[in-house]
Structure 1
Amino acid sequence: MSNIIEAHGVSKSYGGVKANTDISLTVKKGGITGLIGPNGSGKTTMFNSIVGYHPIDEGSIKFEGQEISKMLVPEIARLGLLRTFQQTRIYSQMNCVENMLISMPHRKMSLMDAFRRNTKADTDKAEHLLEFVGLYEKRYLQAGSLSFGQQKLLEFAMALMNEPTVLLLDEPTAGINPTLINGLIDRLKRANTEFGITLFIIEHNMRVIMNMADHIYCLAHGQMLAEGTPAEIQDDQRVIDAYLGAH
């Protein structure tokens, strides 16, 4: 598989705090890559750098061979690179279908204009994806009435509505009832295999990431600590000492 994301020598500081220092990593097209590490190790900062939420101080980030480190979030999103968040970003007063429709690329318009531009095909697509994530029966319920786990499934479906090439997921199983986790894992794997979406996942649940990822990177103190297959990461003493020993 070819590399779809290539980051080389990426550094980012906030004032005197070095969040990322000289980080290099690649994400294989069509695969599932994991990013792990203790709290405060710089994982979310790295995600934010990749999708354009803040400019990096040094280094290079390429998406399909194109330099994107100076691009803004909307430009990067139009290339097909999207992310989800630890805390869901949904419209709590809208129902699930409306959330799906407003997540479309023209969402920067007024709500009324955005809904006018949606077609029956858009609605059918929204309902199909809600069925895919297991929310079809709740499609006309207000999103704010859903459980936190269901809201995460809705946010996942909203991302799929935009047909991303790569989807960065920031702790997708955090705060989810254990009974929902297996279903979410199954849907993430299906999005990868059936829709061909490359996944790059920050995850603290080691059972989840070790069973999903083809390749895993581990950060510590804003620096790259180790990388390898799940088996290699599990056996790496540096990772055990810095992170896995606490899990």
Structure 2
Amino acid sequence: MTAILSIQGVRKTFGGVVANNGISLEVPEGKIVGLIGPNGSGKTTLFNSIVGYHPIDAGSIRFQAREISGLRVPEIARLGLLRTFQQTRIYGRMTCMQNMIISVPQSSDRWRSMFRRVSPAETGKAEDLLKFVGLYAKRQLQAGELSFGQQKLLEFAMALMNEPRMLLLDEPTAGINPTLINGLISRLQRVNREFGITLLVIEHNMRVIMGLAEYVYCLAHGELLAQGAPDAIQNDQRVIDAYLGAR
């Protein structure tokens, strides 16, 4: 199966600290892949390298067969590769609808694009996506008034406004009321199935990732520790030891 994202031998250091060391993984197009590992294992650093937040020291990152490790964040985003964050990045003093409209990839100057005329198609698309994530009734509320979980859903909808080919999701269920997690999982599955968006998901909730991902990579101490189907990963003694601190 064709890989939409291919990472080969990626190394990233910060001073004398090795955050990622020789990591290689592939994400098949149209699939949901999980990325797990204990705190400090290098997951978020890898995400940041993929989308261009900091350059890698060695290795290769290819998206749709194109080398992207030397590109800047906006250039990578325009190719259709976006990420969400563990701590949301929304505009708290704007309404949900304004947050959605400002996410439209209309101009390289996001603030200037705010003041252009918004087309009926864009408004309709924003409303449809807010319905999809369950925030339509709150569309005119300031985003800062939403709960943290609702803000994460808004950020998710904002990413979908860009019609990405692939989304990197960093802890999508963190901070969300447990009663709402099943609904979020269902939406992620629908985005993958109905919109055709490939997902790479960092998640600490093992129940969530084992039920969501078709294939899982596990990092520990900045290196790839294990990979395989969810059942194999959750029964892998190396993974168990890493989470229990035995390594």
Q: Same fold (TM over 0.5)?
A: yes
1:228 to 2:199 alignment: no
Structure 2: tracts of 5 or more residues without a match: none
The percentage of aligned residue pairs carrying the same residue is 71
Counterpart for residue 190 of structure 1: 190
Secondary structure at 2:20 match in 1 = strand
Q: Distance in 1 between matches of 2:220 and 2:37?
A: 6
Structure 1: tracts of 5 or more residues without a match: none
Counterpart for residue 139 of structure 2: 139
Q: Counterpart of 1:201 in structure 2: which amino acid? A: V
Counterpart for residue 10 of structure 1: 10
Secondary structure at 2:141 match in 1 = coil
Q: Distance in 1 between matches of 2:85 and 2:167?
A: 11
Contact conserved, 1:36 with 1:219, CA < 8 A, in 2? yes
Moved over 2 A (4+): 106-115
RMSD across aligned positions (CA): 1.4
Deviates more, 1:60-69 or 1:235-244: 235-244
**Residues 140-160 of structure 1, C-alpha deviations (whole Å, 9 max, x = no match):** 111000000000000000000
Counterpart for residue 154 of structure 2: 154
Give the Å deviation of 1:116: 1.4
Q: Counterpart of 1:103 in structure 2: which amino acid? A: S
Q: Counterpart of 1:224 in structure 2: which amino acid? A: L
**Residues 24-82 of structure 1, C-alpha deviations (whole Å, 9 max, x = no match):** 00001000000000000000000011101110000000001100000100110000000
Secondary structure at 2:106 match in 1 = helix
Counterpart for residue 205 of structure 1: 205
**Residues 212-247 of structure 1, C-alpha deviations (whole Å, 9 max, x = no match):** 00100000000000000001101111001112689x
Structure with bigger helix share is 1
Q: Distance in 2 between matches of 1:171 and 1:148?
A: 13
Give the Å deviation of 1:106: 3.0
Contact conserved, 2:102 with 2:113, CA < 8 A, in 1? no
CA change 1:110–1:58 in 2 (3 A) is closer
Contact conserved, 1:32 with 1:215, CA < 8 A, in 2? yes
TM-score (norm 2): 0.97
Q: Distance in 2 between matches of 1:32 and 1:59?
A: 24
CA change 1:112–1:65 in 2 (3 A) is closer
Secondary structure at 2:115 match in 1 = helix
Q: Counterpart of 1:202 in structure 2: which amino acid? A: I
Q: Distance in 2 between matches of 1:108 and 1:193?
A: 30
Give the Å deviation of 1:120: 1.1
Counterpart for residue 109 of structure 1: 109
Deviates more, 1:117-126 or 1:62-71: 117-126
Q: Distance in 2 between matches of 1:233 and 1:144?
A: 38
Secondary structure at 2:125 match in 1 = helix
User: How many correspondences in the alignment?
Assistant: 246
Counterpart for residue 95 of structure 1: 95
Q: Counterpart of 1:219 in structure 2: which amino acid? A: L
Q: Counterpart of 1:127 in structure 2: which amino acid? A: E
Q: Counterpart of 2:13 in structure 1: which amino acid? A: S
Q: Distance in 1 between matches of 2:112 and 2:226?
A: 49
